[in-house]
A and B are shown apart, each in its own frame.
Chain A
Amino acid sequence: MPKTTILTARAWTGLGLVLWAILSGVGFIGLLMYSSTPGEDGVRQRSWPVDTHIALDHTRPNLVVAMHPRCPCSRASLAALEEIVARCPDAVSVTILFYKPHAESADWTRTDLWKSAAAVPGIHVQVDEDGVEARHFGATTSGHAALYDHSGKKIFSGGITAARGHQGDSVGRSAIIALLSGKRQKSIKCDVFGCPLFAAHETAGESMR
């Protein structure tokens, strides 16, 4: 009897550990899949939008980034922006458009992300009522960056993080730094990782328009 009991206990332990390994593996795969799933691409435009209220700086390249002030993933995008500004000081005019639904007060956008962004020298932050400006620049996902040269020609569009909320090296960030350093870059597709800037019905409404 004791031998059987020991064997049973071992069998249960082994079974439990196999199950544990499978569930842990499935959990991590699910987490990675979520993190690696990009947001919507947005609308492709070739030049500085004509109907925007943001002025183009003709003396240097212009980088416009659309962000949702409450998107946790966008902290990584801001970290990437800080890296770009630090690596290429004064080489680019950076504007962050913070989405604000019209029904909300101005405080709604004053999150720690806003405060962090506003505190970075060389970055200009601006409230984007209902994401009107973001739409002009073709952004639908928080963290979408668009880089224009001094003449208004778009030279980069996409994300600057490697995954959702993931800090560190990314193809988009490296590409922008390279462009600002005067290096020629092949046109590459950089997925945007972040929260959608617009609710489903807002996007649908836009499509209708």
Chain B
Amino acid sequence: MKPSNENHSQSRTLATRTTELARHYEAEACIRTDRQFAALMLLQWLASIGVTLMISPQTWQGPENQIHPHLIASILLGAIINVAPITLAVLYPGIPLTRHVIAVAQALMSALLIHLTGGRIETHFHVFGSLAFLSFYRDWRVLATTAAVVTVDHLLRGWYLPMSVYGSGVPTLWRSLEHAGWVVFEVVFLILSIHHIREATLQAASHQAEAEFANQAKSLFLTTMSHKLRTPLNGILGMNELFLQTKLSEQQARYVDAARTSGRLLLQQINNVLDLSKIEAGKVELDLRECQIEALIFDVTDAMSFGAMQKGLLLRTHVNPSACVTAMCDSHRLRQILVNLIGNAIKFTATGSVTISAECLHRDQFNARIRFCVTDTGIGIPAEKHDCMFRPFTQAESSTTQKFGGTGLGLSISKELVELMRGRIGIDSEIGDGSTFWFEVPVQVNESTAGNAANVGQAEAQPQLNAHVLVAEDNRINQMFVQELLNHFGCTCDLAENGDVAVKAVQSQRYDLVLMDCQMPVLDGFNAAREIRRCEVSVADSRRIPIIALTANAVKGDRERCIEAGMDDYLTKPLNADLLHKTLLQHLTLQEAGCLEKIAGTLS
């Protein structure tokens, strides 16, 4: 029964989304047609004045002349007819009233043009052309409105002024109906056409809805795969780190180091694929924080210098003083772009140097535009390949992947990120002359905070933490890894293999902090955190224990879910030892400060 219910629910959601998209398409069509009609009506008005100037500019009485009343009518009456529909199309495009007023006005415009051209049979085609154009609204009621105006006009004039329409002084109902009948004749076919167009729109909406759902399924698949791959990889990398800290022979150390390198590469590939899918799904948001551009560049250069040194390349930096600003930007993403570009430059340069430079292209009181360049003395890229360099899974030569490795995603991720920052990215390169990959991004600058971020990347000695920590983690290898790290930090820890055990452990023992895996059997980390918080509220004088989430999911919304569940912070797997230490230190310090405050409050 459950799968059947799920299928039913999914098909209902699909149908809802299809309807929503179809309505959106139709609303867009109405807005677009309103605007086109506004332009057309203005043109018609000018055309009617032009035609009148040609046909009947003056009326004569013997040798004397004066302005023809038709000219006055084309200017004034034309303006009156057009003012309402154009105003509505500008102020309220897309609403039913606008298109019905346009329909009435268009019928009146037909009447005016027919009148001004002396009832020429050719001008009557304006009515039929207008009906065809009005069918762009895909709303049969609009056509009905026009047909009604034409019918009423012919009936009234046919009765009161038959001479003006039929050239006969005798009212003829039949001829009025005949004229209106031809209009209805066209309207019927247009309504059938609208029906077909609406069906096609519905079909297109259905296809788009299916594509969206398929994309969501892809995202879910990537998230799940990310989790499934990261969890064992966390264990492999963690164990390798621990293994390297033991006494190993030179050969063993080489093997373990190779395993670590391969593991990191695999992690990078997984991160790249996940990053690209997140960017494509619009799930990446920039995290704007203060960042000193100069320090960021030196930090990245430091991190990349080992790779350059191994290849015997000179890694140089040149930061123009104009770029030495403290900016509000996503330093993590800027770093990611620079790492991609510098990594590529090192990879494809056999001898010579790689130069990282930055300069400020434009600066005012609050904003600046910074240009970053990574110039190498490598093999260069032919001009015809420049455009495809930023496409996913594309490299200059098909053999490049085999020769140099990589997924071919780095540049396309960089491009997406730069565009997310509203910047632009490009290449200047020629075969044999090396390459310069550059990107420009706008940033907000803050003079008052200059120098605050000067210590980016500086290593600090890790103080011992001396805390008792509960580790809720179902994977045995990860349990071992975290336990080893905590011991290394000077902490003691207990292990809980699922959320339920963790909740009971917190109720029975005192812990300084909980590391909570999010996905565990029996009771997951989110519910376990909620349960712990619920217990804290129900117990008087209970202190709030910091809970830090550990998750292999690295997608948007995870942090929010963790915080919403009552957790205090969020770390992604594979765990970074330094980051874990820093996070533990931060929360343990905060907790200590909170306890002291509480004691002070009680004493006072």
Chain A residues near B (Cβ < 8 Å): 13, 16-17, 20, 23-24, 27-28, 30-32, 34-36, 68, 70-73, 75-76, 99, 101, 103-104, 131, 142, 161-163, 165-171, 173-174, 195-200, 202
Contacts and interface: CB of A to CB of B under 8 A. Distances in A.
Nearest to B65: A70
Nearest to A108: B63
B253 interface: no
6 closest A-B pairs by CB = A169-B167, A72-B56, A199-B62, A162-B167, A27-B77, A101-B63
Given A70-B60, A72-B68, A167 B168 contact: no
A177 B454 CA distance: 103
Contacts of B150: none
A197 B55 CA distance: 19
B244 to A, nearest CB: 66
B81 A34 contact: no
B538 interface: no
Given A13-B97, A36-B163, A20 B84 contact: yes
Interface stretch (B34-42, B117-125, B300-308): B117-125
27 contacts: A16-B84, A17-B101, A23-B80, A24-B77, A24-B108, A27-B73, A27-B81, A30-B73, A31-B73, A31-B112, A32-B161, A71-B60, A72-B56, A76-B119, A103-B63, A104-B63, A131-B62, A162-B168, A163-B164, A165-B70, A165-B118, A166-B118, A168-B121, A169-B166, A170-B163, A170-B167, A199-B63
B83 interface: yes
Central interface residue in B62, B73, B111, B115, by most chain A CB within 10 Å: B62
A103 B129 CA distance: 47
A142 B118 CA distance: 16
Interface in B62-82: 62-65, 68-70, 73, 76-77, 80-81
Contact of B62 (A24, A30, A101, A174): A101
Contact of A17 (B68, B84, B167): B84
Interface residues of B, number: 41
Contacts of B56: 72-73, 165
A27 B76 contact: yes
B58 interface: yes
A198 B121 contact: no
A32 B111 CA distance: 11
B80 A27 contact: yes
A197 B73 contact: no
B585 to A, nearest CB: 51
A27 B115 CA distance: 12
B163 A162 contact: yes
A20 to B, nearest CB: 4
B245 interface: no
Contacts of B59: 71-72, 195
B161 A36 contact: yes
Contacts of B120: 167
A35 B119 CA distance: 11
Contacts of A168: 119, 121, 166-167
Contacts of A169: 166-168
B169 interface: yes
Given A196-B62, A199-B62, A24 B81 contact: yes
Nearest to A20: B84
Contacts of B62: 68, 99, 101, 131, 196-199, 202
A171 B63 contact: no
B69 A34 contact: yes
B402 interface: no
Contacts of B77: 24, 27-28, 31
Interface string B102-115: 00000010011001
Interface of B: 55-65, 68-70, 73, 76-77, 80-81, 83-84, 87-88, 97, 101, 108, 111-112, 115, 118-121, 157, 161, 163-164, 166-169
B115 A35 contact: yes
B119 A166 contact: yes
Contacts of A165: 56, 70, 118
B283 to A, nearest CB: 34
Given A17-B101, A24-B77, A196-B61, A171 B168 contact: yes
Contacts of B101: 17
Contacts of B70: 31, 72, 165
Contacts of A166: 118-119, 164, 167
A174 B157 CA distance: 21
A195 B60 contact: yes
A69 to B, nearest CB: 9
A197 B64 CA distance: 10
B87 to A, nearest CB: 8
Contacts of B80: 20, 23-24, 27
Contacts of A32: 157, 161, 164
B164 A70 contact: no
B83 A75 contact: no
Contacts of B118: 73, 75-76, 165-167
Contact of A35 (B63, B112, B121, B164): B164
Nearest to B60: A195
Nearest to B80: A23
Contact of A162 (B63, B73, B164): B164
Given A13-B97, A27-B80, 9 more contacts: A16-B84, A17-B84, A24-B80, A31-B70, A72-B56, A73-B56, A131-B62, A162-B163, A171-B169
A170 B55 CA distance: 21
Nearest to A34: B69
A129 to B, nearest CB: 12
Q: Which of B60, B76, B112 has the most CB of A within 10 A?
A: B60
Nearest to B59: A195
B112 to A, nearest CB: 8
B163 A163 contact: yes
Nearest to B84: A20
A97 to B, nearest CB: 14
B111 A171 contact: no
Contacts of B58: 70, 72
Contacts of A161: 167
A31 B81 contact: no
Contacts of B166: 162, 168-169
Nearest to A17: B84
B61 A198 contact: yes
B259 to A, nearest CB: 65
Contacts of A163: 119, 163-164
B82 to A, nearest CB: 10
Contacts of B55: 72, 75
Contacts of B60: 68, 70-71, 142, 195-196
B95 to A, nearest CB: 10
Contacts of B112: 28, 31
A181 to B, nearest CB: 18
B75 to A, nearest CB: 11
B124 to A, nearest CB: 10
A168 B169 CA distance: 13
A161 B163 CA distance: 9
A90 B161 CA distance: 35
Given A195-B61, A199-B64, A36 B164 contact: yes
A91 B101 CA distance: 52
A165 B57 CA distance: 13
